[in-house]
Amino acid sequence: MTELRYGNKAFPLPQSKLARIAIGGGLVAGGVLGFLPILGFWMIPLGLVVLSFDLPMVRRGRRRLTVRLGRRFKKRWPSAWHRHVTEAKPHVRTHRTNT
């Protein structure tokens, strides 16, 4: 199951690649129309994150941004960065098998 993780929360995404691309594209398109009452500009980054699961070009941009922000965070707050790295939980879930 594909899921979007933010902190300790996980939000499930559809297993279908086409559905994920449609959701991500719809969020980006809705974000472009963010000046309308119900839609908002917050939809653009969320749509890009959803699209990054399936589109390599968007995935590379997201990874570059993550590395750049991580380096900036490490440079400005080294003690907080060390605490974050040592206490971080892995993003990969391990499935236990009953033996």
Structure confidence by residue, pLDDT tens digits, 40-84: 888 999 999 999 989 999 999 989 998 898 889 888 888 877 766
Q: What is the mean pLDDT of the chain?
A: 82
Q: What are phi and psi of 98, to 5 degrees?
A: -80, 115
CA dist 26 → 20, 30, 56, 73 (Å) = 10, 6, 18, 32
- Cα–Cα dist 20/11, whole Å: 13
Q: Is the distance from CB of 45 to CB of 27 less than 8 angstroms?
A: no
Q: How confident is the model at residue 27 (pLDDT cuts 50, 70, 90)?
A: very high
Q: Which of 58, 53, 45, 42 is nearest to 12 (CA)?
A: 53
